[in-house]
Amino acid sequence: MEDTEYYEKIINAVNEYREDSFVESLVRKALSRGADPLMLIDKGLMPGIRKVSDCFSTGTIYLPELMLSAKVMKTALKILEPEIKKNKQSRKILARAIMGTVKGDVHDVGKGIVIMMMEVAGFEVYDLGIDISVEGFLQAIDKYHPAIVGAGAFLSTTIGEQKKVIEAINSSKKRYDIKYFVGGTAATKDWADEIGADGYADNAIDAVKKMKNALGVI
Protein backbone atom coordinates (compact mmCIF):
# COMPACT_ATOMS: atom_id res chain seq x y z
CA MET A 1 0.00 0.00 0.00
CA GLU A 2 1.31 3.47 -0.91
CA ASP A 3 1.74 6.05 1.84
CA THR A 4 -0.97 8.19 0.26
CA GLU A 5 -3.46 5.38 0.81
CA TYR A 6 -2.59 5.31 4.51
CA TYR A 7 -3.08 9.07 4.68
CA GLU A 8 -6.59 8.68 3.26
CA LYS A 9 -7.39 5.80 5.60
CA ILE A 10 -6.27 7.87 8.60
CA ILE A 11 -8.31 10.87 7.43
CA ASN A 12 -11.34 8.59 7.16
CA ALA A 13 -10.67 7.09 10.59
CA VAL A 14 -10.77 10.57 12.13
CA ASN A 15 -13.90 11.53 10.19
CA GLU A 16 -15.67 8.27 10.98
CA TYR A 17 -14.75 8.20 14.70
CA ARG A 18 -13.23 4.73 14.46
CA GLU A 19 -12.54 2.66 17.57
CA ASP A 20 -9.12 2.55 19.27
CA SER A 21 -8.25 -0.95 18.09
CA PHE A 22 -8.84 -0.05 14.44
CA VAL A 23 -6.79 3.15 14.71
CA GLU A 24 -3.92 1.43 16.50
CA SER A 25 -3.82 -1.35 13.90
CA LEU A 26 -3.91 1.10 11.00
CA VAL A 27 -1.13 3.30 12.36
CA ARG A 28 1.13 0.39 13.32
CA LYS A 29 0.65 -1.20 9.90
CA ALA A 30 1.58 2.07 8.20
CA LEU A 31 4.73 2.34 10.33
CA SER A 32 5.67 -1.29 9.65
CA ARG A 33 5.51 -0.52 5.92
CA GLY A 34 7.96 2.34 6.35
CA ALA A 35 5.58 5.32 6.48
CA ASP A 36 7.06 8.49 7.97
CA PRO A 37 5.34 9.19 11.33
CA LEU A 38 5.51 12.94 10.79
CA MET A 39 3.81 12.59 7.43
CA LEU A 40 1.09 10.43 8.97
CA ILE A 41 0.36 13.37 11.25
CA ASP A 42 0.72 16.17 8.70
CA LYS A 43 -1.08 14.45 5.80
CA GLY A 44 -3.41 12.14 7.69
CA LEU A 45 -4.42 13.26 11.15
CA MET A 46 -4.31 17.03 10.60
CA PRO A 47 -6.43 17.12 7.42
CA GLY A 48 -8.85 14.76 9.14
CA ILE A 49 -9.36 16.93 12.21
CA ARG A 50 -9.54 20.10 10.09
CA LYS A 51 -12.46 18.59 8.19
CA VAL A 52 -14.16 17.68 11.45
CA SER A 53 -13.54 21.18 12.82
CA ASP A 54 -15.13 22.72 9.74
CA CYS A 55 -18.17 20.49 10.14
CA PHE A 56 -18.46 21.46 13.80
CA SER A 57 -18.20 25.16 12.95
CA THR A 58 -21.04 24.89 10.44
CA GLY A 59 -23.25 22.83 12.75
CA THR A 60 -23.06 19.67 10.65
CA ILE A 61 -21.76 17.73 13.64
CA TYR A 62 -21.91 18.38 17.37
CA LEU A 63 -19.71 18.17 20.44
CA PRO A 64 -19.93 14.37 20.98
CA GLU A 65 -18.67 13.75 17.44
CA LEU A 66 -15.94 16.33 17.87
CA MET A 67 -14.72 14.61 21.02
CA LEU A 68 -14.75 11.20 19.31
CA SER A 69 -12.58 12.56 16.49
CA ALA A 70 -10.19 14.10 19.01
CA LYS A 71 -10.00 10.72 20.74
CA VAL A 72 -8.95 9.10 17.44
CA MET A 73 -6.23 11.74 17.12
CA LYS A 74 -4.91 11.12 20.61
CA THR A 75 -4.91 7.34 20.11
CA ALA A 76 -2.81 7.72 16.96
CA LEU A 77 -0.47 10.30 18.49
CA LYS A 78 0.35 8.01 21.42
CA ILE A 79 1.85 5.61 18.89
CA LEU A 80 3.38 8.15 16.54
CA GLU A 81 5.12 10.50 18.96
CA PRO A 82 7.47 7.83 20.43
CA GLU A 83 8.39 6.87 16.86
CA ILE A 84 9.17 10.48 16.04
CA LYS A 85 11.48 10.70 19.06
CA LYS A 86 13.09 7.37 18.18
CA ASN A 87 13.84 8.70 14.70
CA LYS A 88 15.15 11.93 16.26
CA GLN A 89 12.55 13.86 14.36
CA SER A 90 10.73 16.82 15.84
CA ARG A 91 7.03 17.48 15.66
CA LYS A 92 6.49 21.21 15.54
CA ILE A 93 5.01 22.61 18.74
CA LEU A 94 2.94 25.74 18.10
CA ALA A 95 3.34 27.14 21.59
CA ARG A 96 3.36 26.22 25.25
CA ALA A 97 0.24 26.90 27.32
CA ILE A 98 -1.02 26.56 30.87
CA MET A 99 -4.71 26.05 31.63
CA GLY A 100 -6.47 26.12 34.97
CA THR A 101 -9.83 26.60 36.65
CA VAL A 102 -9.72 29.57 39.01
CA LYS A 103 -9.76 29.51 42.81
CA GLY A 104 -13.04 28.45 44.36
CA ASP A 105 -14.20 26.62 41.23
CA VAL A 106 -13.92 22.86 40.82
CA HIS A 107 -15.44 22.44 37.34
CA ASP A 108 -13.14 21.19 34.60
CA VAL A 109 -15.11 19.32 31.92
CA GLY A 110 -15.06 22.24 29.50
CA LYS A 111 -11.40 22.90 30.19
CA GLY A 112 -10.58 19.29 29.46
CA ILE A 113 -12.23 19.50 26.04
CA VAL A 114 -10.35 22.68 25.17
CA ILE A 115 -7.05 21.13 26.25
CA MET A 116 -7.73 18.04 24.15
CA MET A 117 -8.32 20.18 21.05
CA MET A 118 -5.27 22.35 21.79
CA GLU A 119 -3.05 19.28 21.99
CA VAL A 120 -4.49 17.96 18.76
CA ALA A 121 -3.68 21.32 17.12
CA GLY A 122 -0.06 21.14 18.27
CA PHE A 123 0.03 23.06 21.54
CA GLU A 124 2.08 21.80 24.47
CA VAL A 125 -0.40 22.16 27.33
CA TYR A 126 0.09 21.95 31.08
CA ASP A 127 -3.18 21.39 32.94
CA LEU A 128 -2.94 23.06 36.35
CA GLY A 129 -6.22 21.51 37.46
CA ILE A 130 -9.02 23.11 39.46
CA ASP A 131 -9.25 25.65 42.29
CA ILE A 132 -6.04 27.39 41.21
CA SER A 133 -5.12 30.55 43.10
CA VAL A 134 -3.61 33.65 41.54
CA GLU A 135 -0.28 32.64 43.05
CA GLY A 136 -0.68 29.19 41.52
CA PHE A 137 -1.00 30.71 38.07
CA LEU A 138 2.04 32.94 38.64
CA GLN A 139 4.14 30.01 39.86
CA ALA A 140 3.16 28.01 36.78
CA ILE A 141 4.14 30.93 34.53
CA ASP A 142 7.57 31.04 36.18
CA LYS A 143 7.94 27.28 35.81
CA TYR A 144 6.68 26.71 32.25
CA HIS A 145 7.17 30.11 30.54
CA PRO A 146 3.97 29.77 28.48
CA ALA A 147 2.86 31.86 25.53
CA ILE A 148 -0.79 31.22 26.47
CA VAL A 149 -2.47 31.37 29.88
CA GLY A 150 -6.06 30.16 30.02
CA ALA A 151 -8.26 30.64 33.09
CA GLY A 152 -11.69 29.05 33.33
CA ALA A 153 -14.57 30.17 35.56
CA PHE A 154 -17.81 28.22 35.58
CA LEU A 155 -19.55 29.93 38.51
CA SER A 156 -20.66 33.55 38.73
CA THR A 157 -19.15 33.67 42.21
CA THR A 158 -15.65 32.86 40.91
CA ILE A 159 -15.47 34.91 37.72
CA GLY A 160 -13.74 37.77 39.55
CA GLU A 161 -10.72 35.51 39.96
CA GLN A 162 -10.08 35.76 36.21
CA LYS A 163 -9.63 39.50 36.62
CA LYS A 164 -7.30 38.98 39.59
CA VAL A 165 -5.13 36.63 37.54
CA ILE A 166 -4.68 39.07 34.67
CA GLU A 167 -4.02 41.93 37.08
CA ALA A 168 -1.33 39.84 38.78
CA ILE A 169 0.24 38.97 35.41
CA ASN A 170 0.26 42.64 34.48
CA SER A 171 1.81 43.62 37.81
CA SER A 172 4.50 40.96 37.46
CA LYS A 173 5.57 42.52 34.14
CA LYS A 174 5.13 39.19 32.33
CA ARG A 175 2.23 40.45 30.25
CA TYR A 176 4.28 41.54 27.24
CA ASP A 177 4.93 37.97 26.11
CA ILE A 178 1.78 36.21 27.35
CA LYS A 179 -1.63 35.97 25.74
CA TYR A 180 -4.37 35.66 28.35
CA PHE A 181 -7.61 33.83 27.56
CA VAL A 182 -10.71 33.34 29.66
CA GLY A 183 -13.49 30.81 29.29
CA GLY A 184 -16.13 28.86 31.13
CA THR A 185 -19.87 29.26 31.43
CA ALA A 186 -19.55 32.32 33.65
CA ALA A 187 -17.37 34.24 31.18
CA THR A 188 -18.49 36.30 28.19
CA LYS A 189 -16.80 38.29 25.45
CA ASP A 190 -17.84 41.54 27.13
CA TRP A 191 -16.25 40.37 30.36
CA ALA A 192 -13.05 39.40 28.55
CA ASP A 193 -12.92 42.85 26.93
CA GLU A 194 -13.61 44.55 30.26
CA ILE A 195 -10.69 42.91 32.05
CA GLY A 196 -8.30 43.25 29.12
CA ALA A 197 -8.01 39.58 28.17
CA ASP A 198 -6.66 38.70 24.73
CA GLY A 199 -9.53 36.43 23.92
CA TYR A 200 -12.65 34.50 24.86
CA ALA A 201 -14.43 31.61 23.19
CA ASP A 202 -17.53 29.63 24.03
CA ASN A 203 -16.39 26.39 22.39
CA ALA A 204 -13.16 24.44 21.97
CA ILE A 205 -12.76 24.89 18.22
CA ASP A 206 -13.19 28.66 18.42
CA ALA A 207 -10.79 28.82 21.37
CA VAL A 208 -8.02 27.08 19.46
CA LYS A 209 -8.55 29.28 16.39
CA LYS A 210 -8.40 32.46 18.46
CA MET A 211 -5.29 31.32 20.32
CA LYS A 212 -3.55 30.57 17.05
CA ASN A 213 -4.61 33.93 15.66
CA ALA A 214 -3.30 35.70 18.76
CA LEU A 215 0.07 34.02 18.24
CA GLY A 216 0.09 34.74 14.51
CA VAL A 217 0.40 31.08 13.54
CA ILE A 218 -2.55 30.87 11.11
pLDDT in tens, 64-94: 888 898 889 889 988 998 888 787 777 778 9
DSSP secondary structure, 48-109, as one string: HHHHHHHHHHTTSS-HHHHHHHHHHHHHHHHHHHHHHHHTT--PPP--EEEEEEETT----H
pLDDT of residue 200: 95
Asked if residue 114 belongs to a domain, the reply is yes
Please identify every stretch of the chain with a pLDDT value under 50, giving residue numbers as ranges. Answer: none
Asked if residue 178 belongs to a domain, the reply is yes
> How many domains is the chain partitioned into structurally?
2
Asked if residue 91 belongs to a domain, the reply is no
Element (H, E) at 6: helix 3-15
pLDDT of residue 218: 64
pLDDT of residue 117: 81
pLDDT of residue 109: 67
Query: For the domain that residue 27 is a member of, what is the CATH number?
Result: 1.10.1240.10
Q: Are residues 26 and 73 located together in one domain of the fold?
A: yes
pLDDT of residue 185: 86
> What range does the domain containing 143 cover?
96-215
Q: Counting Cβ atoms within 10 Å, is residue 8 exposed (0-12), middle (13-18) or buried (19+)?
A: middle
